[in-house]
Structure 1
């Protein structure tokens, strides 16, 4: 649901009633991940998507019904062997959809509003909602912030709120969205519970070092992929807003010095396009020792070998060098800055998702590498 926070915030500000359908769990070749959402307002306007088109019509009807009767429902959609054109996922997957009405008088509305507002501001927050359990609890929500403060609750037992808050905080810290199962004793309501925890985190960072023409194209690709993009170069004549209008930040500083002082995390992507030893070596020595998601460096194969030798002379180990994607990008035969940016972006996606980078035509590898059915996180008994 938080993936359409901007639109839903606008609806809330306009006082609209709506119902939101959220993907809770997926199996097989399902097209959307848990947390993807479609919402329908009282006038029938729809935003978002839960399946890429396969079951949108049926989910739309469920949202309209939820607005009428005020009931939160859980529905499963899957492939129909008897009729591939029946309501279902003809790609062979299965998705579970939670449909929640959000009307003016619904008690969950203030909690969802707070979660959507946080997501809209780019703040970190986790929203936990009961998917299955006693009928009176389904759809209830708890908002958990990084500082431990919470809003809302499930109304069953304070211990349940504390248990879910702790687990939601762990998922938020990892930037993950997923399901959580709590056993009968732990739920404190006489029945097991399944919850969906959606994490809203600030966009991951892409830092592009080297204010060259290829960098301008890569900035646009990075923004398209949802990164917060910074361009860093020591030369003020090149690192300008005119040359990089799409960048979120432009920093004029020696690259390694900037990397030493700026914040990075396990989702950060570092793209070194300077291919100049005086910049590359101190920068990569630092970069390869940071717990970031990706480090890539531009240059010919000869430049790559020379750079690796210089890095070894500076104490960089072979294990650290193995983290370096160099020459940067996938082999697409790229020539232009835009084609090169596409090859770099494709490698970043493949590295993040576990893809091979080979053509899907004739291949037998999964299309959605991280969409395979994953077991829900299970909680033991809570004393």
Structure 2
């Protein structure tokens, strides 16, 4: 549901009743990830997607039915050998969707409205529901407080589980033992986490940086451009950046927030900037630290970093020369190669052409860094 926070806001404001289908699990080659959603209102208007088109018609009917009878529904769609263009995924994978009716005046709607508002404003929030149960929803905040009702004997325990997943920005199904349940029965809990965009900080106001800022925005990052030279670090030169900071790079990095999702790209390729900056970067939480430069520049930089006391383990985090080998030369081609490496690191990809690999194209999701 949180996947459609911005799109659902007008429906909520207008008092529309609607049903939301959310992807709760995927296997094999599925076109949309867990958390992808499709909503249908009482007039039949549709927003969102759960499969890129393969099973949208069947999911639409599930939403219409749920809205009519007020009951949640859970359905799995896989490849159809008899007719791949009927209710089946032609890519050969499978998706499971869970449909929740959101009627006006219900407790679940009040909880959802609050969660959608937080997500639309870019604030972290988790929304939990029990699959194969009633339409109850639980909103969980970063501080662990929660509101709503799942109708179980252990809503507090389920809220704690949702809070743990929110902490790492994960959206997934988990099996949770219910302390008060008879015979040790487990509860199947689905938690959607909505967290602010991960940060990309680009150091060096060079032409390559302008292209990388655009790629970073395309990949969904909140992008900051930092350079000590005010004549180059300007909003006019980097209009797509969310922030343009004029400051010595190492000083700025010491003073700003990074976490395990942050991407740091050092494009200055000037030792007086690079070495102090990388000393800080390689010791800060970050998903990716890359630095531009030739192999000779890299070797000189590594030598200086070792002399500065950077350990071998810390140097292992450095991706330099930055990017994948795409043969690119222009700033735009270079930015694509850097973006491709960031995605490969984030998704544990090999960077090898798909035609040279066997097996499923889409791997099981690894813990995300965003």
Match of residue 88 from structure 1: 88
Q: Secondary structure at 1:302's aligned position in 2?
A: helix
Match of residue 120 from structure 1: 120
Task: Tell me, yes or no, if structure 1 residue 330 matches structure 2 residue 324.
Answer: yes
* 1:107-137 CA-partner distances (Å, limit 9, x unpaired): 31011111111100111111101112xxxx4
Match of residue 249 from structure 2: 255
The one of 210, 218, 239 aligned to 1:245: 239
> Partners in 1 of 2:313 and 2:199 — Cα distance?
24
> Structure 1 residues 84 and 267 mapped into 2: Cα distance closer, same or farther (>3 Å)?
same
Contact map agreement 2:140 2:159 (CA 8 A) in 1: yes
Match of residue 380 from structure 1: none
The one of 146, 151, 168 aligned to 2:142: 146
Give the TM-score taking structure 1 as reference length: 0.92
Deviation at 1:348, TM superposition (A): 0.2
Deviation at 1:256, TM superposition (A): 0.3
Match of residue 302 from structure 1: 296
Match of residue 279 from structure 2: 285
Deviation at 1:186, TM superposition (A): 4.5
> Partners in 1 of 2:243 and 2:180 — Cα distance?
46
> Partners in 2 of 1:9 and 1:202 — Cα distance?
18
Task: Tell me, yes or no, if structure 1 residue 269 matches structure 2 residue 263.
Answer: yes
Match of residue 101 from structure 2: 101
Please say which of residues 114-123 and 358-367 is displaced more in the overlay. 358-367
Deviation at 1:31, TM superposition (A): 2.1
Q: Counterparts in 2 of 1:45-64, with a 5 A limit?
A: 45-64=45-64
Q: Counterparts in 2 of 1:1-383, with a 5 A limit?
A: 1-132=1-132, 137-157=133-153, 160-183=154-177, 185-187=179-181, 192-371=186-365
Contact map agreement 1:156 1:188 (CA 8 A) in 2: no
Match of residue 377 from structure 1: none
Contact map agreement 1:29 1:371 (CA 8 A) in 2: no
CA RMSD of aligned residues (A): 1.7
> Structure 1 residues 311 and 190 mapped into 2: Cα distance closer, same or farther (>3 Å)?
closer
> Partners in 1 of 2:150 and 2:69 — Cα distance?
21
Q: Secondary structure at 1:361's aligned position in 2?
A: helix
Contact map agreement 1:239 1:251 (CA 8 A) in 2: yes
> Partners in 2 of 1:6 and 1:218 — Cα distance?
26
* 1:55-91 CA-partner distances (Å, limit 9, x unpaired): 1111111112222222210111111233333311122
Displaced runs of 4 or more, over 6 A: none
Deviation at 1:336, TM superposition (A): 1.4
> Partners in 2 of 1:186 and 1:231 — Cα distance?
52
Give the TM-score taking structure 2 as reference length: 0.95
Deviation at 1:339, TM superposition (A): 1.1
> Partners in 2 of 1:366 and 1:321 — Cα distance?
33
Q: Secondary structure at 2:285's aligned position in 1?
A: coil
